[in-house]
Amino acid sequence: MATRPKTLPAAAAPVLVGGGLAALRGGFAAGPAAAALVGALLIQVATNLANDYYDFVRGGDTDERVGPTRVTQAGLISPRTVQRAMVLTLLAALGVGVYLASVGGWPIVVIGLASLVCAVAYTGGPFPLAYHGLGDVFVFVFFGLVAVTGTVWVQTLTWSAEALWAGAGIGALSTAILVVNNLRDIPTDRQAGKNTLAVRLGVQGSRIQYLALLALGAAVPVVGVLRFGWPTATLASLLVFLAGVAPARVVLGFRQPAELLPALGGTARIVALYGVVLAGALAWGA
């Protein structure tokens, strides 16, 4: 429960896309790709553990919260144990990062250290990102741009505009998950002084943000084909957005926070399906 397995597709999807893009350009390397996947999953788990711990100690998670159980707030696991698990997970991610740095050099050192710091700084430290409306930026950058370009780098040792563009698509959809989560938590977050972007934008502004993020995700394969010469098969990823109709309707029409729970799961499924289909189509065109 503390590691939140349902969030892991958001960490895996950008690595899959990066692997597919590396394969398309003839540079797929199984070892670095697998290590990037393991590292991304560990950082996601560490972020989840940090969120569970720090939201409790900062008062962000209370009995009034709607949504999946948070183990620290519910008293299922002691705060110290969750904190210890977070540290151990970060150390495991660091171990994977040492191998990746040996392959990718100093850029991976920078990316890895920044990822580890932000995993904690998302809700912890003197300037918690989520509490200052920067959580969306964190997810878009690290679970989109950085994850895809970093995965491509450790396999091909090249940076490219198309990797950034692919990262923007998966990053936008991963951010959409966060938008739904934060929409649900607006009442309790506002009360706790957790000024997420959803709190700042309000319900209507967050609804617009959600639709804009889905639109960006849909634009990526189209521009990829037209601008970067991606295989036409990558357009199959657009079919994934048929599964986005139901969660979008919920986001646009909900009245009570609890009504958003199906939209949260539905948006996570979009990310997983989009990552698999886009990565598969890119690799198929290699």
Q: What is the mean pLDDT of each run of 10 residues along the chain (286 residues)?
A: 86 96 94 95 93 81 66 87 94 95 93 90 86 93 95 95 97 96 90 91 96 97 97 96 94 92 93 96 88
The Cα–Cα gap between 129 and 114 comes to 13
pLDDT of residue 284: 92
Are residues 10 and 274 in contact, defined by beta-carbon separation less than 8 angstroms? no
Residue 105 to residues 93, 95, 99, 117, 285, Cα–Cα distance (Å)? 16, 15, 10, 19, 29
Exposed, middle or buried by CB within 10 Å (0-12, 13-18, 19+), for 150? buried
Q: Residues 142, 147, 150, 152: is their CA dihedral positive or negative? A: negative
Q: Are residues 108 and 143 in contact, defined by beta-carbon separation less than 8 angstroms?
A: no
- Report pLDDT for 6: 83
- How far apart CA 78 and CA 141 sit, in angstroms, is 32
pTM of the model: 0.92
pLDDT attached to residue 67: 65
Can you give the pLDDT at residue 62? 62
pLDDT at 65: 61
Can you tell me which residue has the tokens 């393991």? 38
Report pLDDT for 64: 64
Q: How many residues does the chain have?
A: 286
